[in-house]
Amino acid sequence: MEAADAASLAVHTQDLAKRYGKTVALSGLTMSVRRAEVFGFLGPNGAGKTTAVKLLVGLALPTAGEGWVLGAPIGDLQTRRRLGYLPELFRYQGWMKAREVLGLHCELSGMPRSEWKTEIDLALEMVGLADRADDKVEGFSKGMQQRLGLGVALLGRPELVLLDEPTSALDPVGRHDVREIIRQLKARGTAVFLNSHLLSEVEQICDRLAVVDHGRVIATGTMSQILGQDGAVRVRVTGLPATSRAGLNAFGDLEDE
């Protein structure tokens, strides 16, 4: 890929693959994410979503293929300063206050100290923790810790934010708030790469998406394009009452396993 073409995109990958021994975590990943676009990466647990994000942020090395993030090869140290990242699993020191956690990450990122207060206050406000800034993390619910992690990802006003299951620990109000934050990011020109196993979340917020399963992308496009593709969808349901079964028969044949 030409450097000029890569620079015009937030993310571009070509046949990116990752194996752990004999286990194929990701295979032949080719995709592009535009600047200021909300891009969904949709798939069940174990599909390869987290592996893809780790490759993009440089936490893992690809076994094969190529990738560019903000115009630079994946793993480029200077480019990583322009990224925001919320991992699926994280833990902060319980004895630290929310403001201190954010300050620590400001320092780790090399942000000038003169900018800390402004950036920390902005992040706390965006994630709804301004009134808990001086409370210790050990007293936070799982949802509040998720909000704090999102605040860390927003520090420094990154050009690309990668979110791995950002609503997994949130109630409906919290999920709504995250969607609003993502819309704000898009409005200011930030690209968002959203990992999720929830179709409803991706459908409401993403401009385009890729559907991944068993390490492979099986569909890419807008939601309407993907839903308009020919094919069948197989849904497995357990504990279905007879009355519900009769109603569902109107939409297609039901098979017993």
Q: How far is CA 27 from the centre of its chain?
A: 19
Locus of tokens 């073409």? 5
The pLDDT, as a whole number, for residue 13 is 94
The pLDDT, as a whole number, for residue 83 is 95
Q: Between the CA of residue 179 and those of 51, 127, 129, 187, 206, what are the distances in Å?
A: 23, 11, 16, 12, 10
Instruction: Answer with the residue of higher pLDDT: 136 or 252.
Output: 136
- pLDDT at residue 31 greater than cutoff 60: yes
The pLDDT, as a whole number, for residue 252 is 63
The pLDDT, as a whole number, for residue 251 is 59
Tokens of 92: 């902060």
CATH superfamily of 3-82+158-251: P-loop containing nucleotide triphosphate hydrolases (3.40.50.300)
**Average pLDDT over the chain, rounded to an integer:** 88
The mean pLDDT value for 29-38 works out to: 94
Tokens of 56: 């993009």
- pLDDT at residue 236 greater than cutoff 80: no
C-beta separation of 194 from 182 below 8 A: yes
C-beta separation of 23 from 190 below 8 A: no
In the chain, domain spans:
3-82+158-251
- Please report, rounded to a whole number, the percentage of residues in the chain having pLDDT higher than 90: 58
- pLDDT at residue 158 greater than cutoff 90: yes
Q: CA-to-CA distance for 149 and 130, rounded, in angstroms?
A: 14
Instruction: Answer with the residue of higher pLDDT: 257 or 52.
Output: 52
Which residues, 6+ apart, have CB-to-CB distance to 146 below 8 Å?
166, 167, 168, 169, 170, 174
The pLDDT, as a whole number, for residue 142 is 86
Query: Phi/psi at 209 (nearest 5 deg)?
Result: -155, 160
The pLDDT, as a whole number, for residue 233 is 59
| 60-69, 196-205, 242-251 — most confident range | 60-69
C-beta separation of 154 from 127 below 8 A: yes
The pLDDT, as a whole number, for residue 25 is 92
The pLDDT, as a whole number, for residue 229 is 61
The pLDDT, as a whole number, for residue 161 is 95
